Amino acid sequence: MNSFYEHHKGIIRWHYRCFDRILLNGLIQPFQQPERVVGFFNTYRQLYPVSRNTLRGIADQFQHWLKGWTEKRRVPVLDAPHGRRDDFVDPYFKGASPDAVVAILKAREPARIMTAVGDSKTNRWHLQIANRWVVQYSFYISDRQWGRMFVRICPYLPFSARVCLNQHHWLANQMREEGIDFKQCANAFTRCSAPERLQQLADSLTPWDLLTCGQKWLARLTPFFTAKERDHAGCQHRLFSPRSSSATTSSSIAGRRWTISVNDCSTPIEQSDSPTKSQ
């Protein structure tokens, strides 16, 4: 039993439970094995062997695509700040259209990338996964269903990614659609005209809601693959909990929080467990 709730339940006006920040890692499973990468290029690109220049060219191609894509849409590409990134991108979300990228932050961060080891003179190479510090790009997005979110993409093969969602923003959109009056303060609702319905909506979230959003944006932000390659070669991201290394459609959330509204003052309390919602 929640001790805070038990002690203050006489003055608590209403409460609800929902997921806060949801972090999912994205990876393309076939491309975690070097031999399958070689097979892909041989079958779909008629290219063998896969050299160091080939891998560098893939990263250069991403940079070229990003430059044209952002210039066409007038999306700023900015160096990540030293402070809180969420606060830094706040102004870019004002008046954002649905399903729009509002800003992109770039930063040098660790990632697992494919490397080629060999000799350019003999043109003999073998591939291996290695940990490297590389420039990665965080796309801050105003999603039609999920509202504010971001997707981090590594521009180097095998395009590792991270998707960050927040159920508070998802719930806000759900309540707007139903005409429910509410007040949101960052990651909390301090007023709601239908708290019972708010809890029902929070409990209705499924893994499919996470997967459809994440895979939609990951497909858009990895233009290296053709539609045929995605369908036939399995070149699409799978989403996993950061704590899980096995393929699954479940989502393990970093923290689940009780938000207690006491006279319009909201106090979030994080529980110690990390619940999982499975399909």
Residue-range domain boundaries for the chain: 3-277
**Can you read off the two tokens belonging to residue 135?**
């420039």
Q: What is the pLDDT of residue 253?
A: 29
Over 90: is that where the pLDDT of 108 sits?
yes
Confidence of residue 123 (pLDDT cuts 50, 70, 90): very high
**Residue 115 is which amino acid?**
T
Provide the percentage of residues in the chain whose pLDDT is more than 70: 86
Query: What local confidence, expressed as pLDDT, does residue 16 receive?
Result: 87
Q: pLDDT, tens digit, for every residue of 31-82?
A: 999 999 999 999 999 999 999 999 999 999 999 999 999 999 999 999 999 9
Mean pLDDT of the chain: 85
Structure tokens at 51: 């050299």
pLDDT recorded at residue 243? 55
E strand or H helix that includes residue 27: strand 21-27
For residue 271, pLDDT beyond 80: no
pTM of the model: 0.83
Assess whether pLDDT exceeds 70 at residue 228. Answer: yes
Please state, in angstroms and rounded to a whole number, the distance separating the CA atoms of residues 197 and 261: 16
Instruction: Give the model confidence (pLDDT) of 177-221 as tens digits.
Output: 999 999 998 788 989 999 999 999 999 999 999 999 999 999 999
Q: How far apart are CA 147 and CA 261, in angstroms?
A: 23
Q: What is the mean pLDDT of residues 157-165?
A: 96
DSSP 32: G
Mean pLDDT over 91-107 rounds to: 96
Cβ-in-10-Å burial (0-12, 13-18, 19+) of 256 comes to middle
What are the angstrom distances between the C-alpha of 218 and each of 90, 117, 127, 213, 224?
22, 28, 24, 9, 11
Per-residue pLDDT averaged across 89-96, rounded? 95
Question: What six digits make up the tokens of 97?
Answer: 């259209």
| pLDDT grade for 20, boundaries at 50, 70 and 90 | confident
Average pLDDT over residues 121-133: 95
- pLDDT: which is higher, 107 or 13: 107
Residue 155 has pLDDT above 70, yes or no: yes
- Listed in sequence order, the residues at least 6 apart from 150 whose beta carbon sits closer than 8 Å to its beta carbon are 138, 139, 140, 141, 163, 164
Return all residues near 14 (Cβ < 8 A) that are at least 6 apart: 192, 195, 261
Count of CB atoms situated within 10 Å of the CB of 226 = 13
Percent of the chain that is helix, strand, coil (3-state, to 5) = 35, 35, 35
